[in-house]
């Protein structure tokens, strides 16, 4: 043992290696101290050896250890070591590691009056172990086990079983998480919530500013029918039916009610939509709409009426 700080753990390691040396070399009990003491090269150790060399041949191994602890360790080292033992907690360590750590600290007190017996160690392990493990030990009734070593073996078995069970749960949760993260995106075509919200807002905004086109009045309907008009774009001499109207849509804000003065002259070369029906006769008849015909029957008509139906209201039509 050379230079440097010496603590209880380092001294214990030195004593342990010395015992292995004695056993390997078959050193007699009476010669042990003198055989090992001169291997210490630290300043304090060399000074102590120089002062006590006449005593070495007759010094027992236990007395030698007491002298070394007195030389290198603080006076309260035994109390500090016991406090360290009481503060050891299991936390996330396995019970095996936890128990070995506690017993290793107790071994530093071996040969002293502060060394903890098996009952004290057992109580300390129970007090500082994981709470869930302590509950499981209570369910397993481990208090009935008398011998400390048997109790240790049983606790290690229960703790290992519990550890494997927890690992199985963790592995299962990890597989579920991996499967959920690798699942392909939905192909239902359902838009994202944000998009749907935006679309709803747009629709509501459009609906709040929309101005509907006034419905066709009976006289407007008659004028369009008599003058080749389209009921959709409401243009005279349109040359197309409402089903084939190319637009554009009517601007309700600028729309004006159709009157006889709104009808432009018939364009040159205009071909009537109903060539078999004299346009002038139809115009003359439909302009005279009987007052007892409900206007609702003439409003919202989106397609040209059938020619025979128009002919049925002509004064000279056969019944």
Q: What is the pLDDT of residues 77-124, one digit of tens each?
A: 999 999 999 999 998 899 999 999 999 999 999 989 999 999 999 999
Contacts (Cβ under 8 Å, ≥6 apart) of 217: 257, 258, 295, 298, 299
Mean pLDDT for 248-268 is 84
Mean pLDDT for 272-301 is 45
Residue with tokens 């055989």: 35
Domain boundary among 178, 203, 235: 178
CA–CA distances in Å: residue 312 to residues 123, 306, 307: 113, 10, 9
Residue 221 shares a structural domain with residue 155? no
Residue 217 shares a structural domain with residue 317? yes
- In a domain, residue 294? The reply is yes
Q: Which two tokens stand for residue 186?
A: 């939905």
Residue 123 shares a structural domain with residue 35? no
Count up the domains in the chain and report the number: 3
- In a domain, residue 94? The reply is yes
Position 75 pLDDT exceeds 70? yes
Domain boundary among 44, 72, 100: 72
Q: How confident is the model at residue 252 (pLDDT cuts 50, 70, 90)?
A: confident
Position 203 pLDDT exceeds 60? no
Residue 162, domain extent: 77-178
Higher pLDDT, 268 or 79: 79
Measured between alpha carbons, how far is 224 from 287 in angstroms, rounded to an integer?
A: 10
- In a domain, residue 136? The reply is yes
Q: How confident is the model at residue 186 (pLDDT cuts 50, 70, 90)?
A: low
For the chain, percent of residues with pLDDT exceeding 70: 75
Q: Supply the angle between the helices 95-107 and 118-128 in degrees, to the nearest 10.
A: 140
Residue 36 shares a structural domain with residue 53? yes
Q: At residue 189, what are phi and psi to the nearest 5 degrees?
A: 85, 0
Residue 248 shares a structural domain with residue 162? no
Q: What is the pLDDT of residue 191?
A: 57
pTM over 0.85: no
Domain boundary among 72, 92, 109: 72
- In a domain, residue 23? The reply is yes
Residue 68 shares a structural domain with residue 82? no
- In a domain, residue 198? The reply is no
Mean pLDDT for 47-76 is 91
Measured between alpha carbons, how far is 137 from 153 in angstroms, rounded to an integer?
A: 12
Residue 132 shares a structural domain with residue 61? no
Q: What is the pLDDT of residue 283?
A: 44
Our separate counts of H helices and E strands in the chain read 13, 0
Measured between alpha carbons, how far is 131 from 53 in angstroms, rounded to an integer?
A: 54
Q: What is the pLDDT of residue 73?
A: 93
Residue 39 shares a structural domain with residue 102? no
Residue 64 shares a structural domain with residue 107? no
Position 5 pLDDT exceeds 50? yes
Q: Indicate the SS3 state at residue 30.
A: helix
Residue 102 shares a structural domain with residue 137? yes
36 neighbors 16 (Cβ within 8 angstroms): no
Residue 138 shares a structural domain with residue 100? yes
Nearest to 43 by CA among 54, 51, 55: 51
Q: How confident is the model at residue 302 (pLDDT cuts 50, 70, 90)?
A: very low
- In a domain, residue 102? The reply is yes
- In a domain, residue 307? The reply is yes
1 neighbors 10 (Cβ within 8 angstroms): yes
Residue 64 shares a structural domain with residue 122? no
- In a domain, residue 29? The reply is yes
């Amino acid at each position: 043992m050379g230079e440097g700080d010496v603590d209880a753990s380092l001294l214990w390691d030195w004593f342990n290696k010395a015992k292995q040396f004695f056993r390997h070399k078959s050193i007699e009990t009476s010669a042990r101290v003198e055989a090992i003491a001169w291997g210490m090269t630290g300043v304090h150790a060399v000074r102590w050896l120089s002062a006590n060399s006449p005593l070495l041949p007759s010094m027992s191994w236990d007395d030698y250890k007491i002298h070394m602890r007195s030389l290198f360790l603080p006076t309260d080292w035994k109390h500090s070591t016991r406090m360290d033992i009481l503060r050891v907690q299991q936390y996330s360590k396995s019970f095996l590691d936890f128990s070995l750590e506690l017993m290793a600290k107790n071994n530093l007190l071996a040969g002293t009056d502060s060394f903890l017996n098996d009952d004290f160690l057992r109580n300390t392990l129970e007090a500082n172990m994981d709470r869930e493990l302590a509950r499981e030990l209570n369910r397993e009734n481990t208090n009935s086990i008398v011998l400390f070593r048997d109790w240790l073996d049983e606790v290690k078995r229960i703790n290992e079983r519990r550890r494997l069970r927890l690992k199985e749960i963790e592995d299962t949760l990890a597989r579920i998480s991996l499967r959920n993260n690798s699942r392909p995106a939905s192909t239902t075509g359902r838009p994202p919530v944000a998009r749907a919200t935006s679309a709803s807002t747009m629709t509501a905004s459009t609906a709040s500013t929309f101005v509907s086109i006034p419905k066709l009045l009976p006289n407007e309907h008659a004028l369009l029918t008599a003058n080749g008009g389209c009921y959709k774009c409401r243009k005279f001499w349109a040359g197309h039916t409402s089903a084939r109207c190319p637009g554009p849509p009517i601007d309700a804000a600028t729309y004006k009610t159709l009157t006889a003065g709104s009808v432009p002259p018939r364009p040159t070369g205009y071909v009537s939509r109903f060539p078999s029906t004299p346009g002038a006769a139809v115009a003359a008849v439909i302009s005279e709409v009987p007052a007892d015909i409900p206007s609702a029957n003439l409003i919202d008509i989106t397609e040209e009426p059938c020619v025979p139906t128009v002919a049925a209201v002509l004064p000279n039509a056969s019944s």
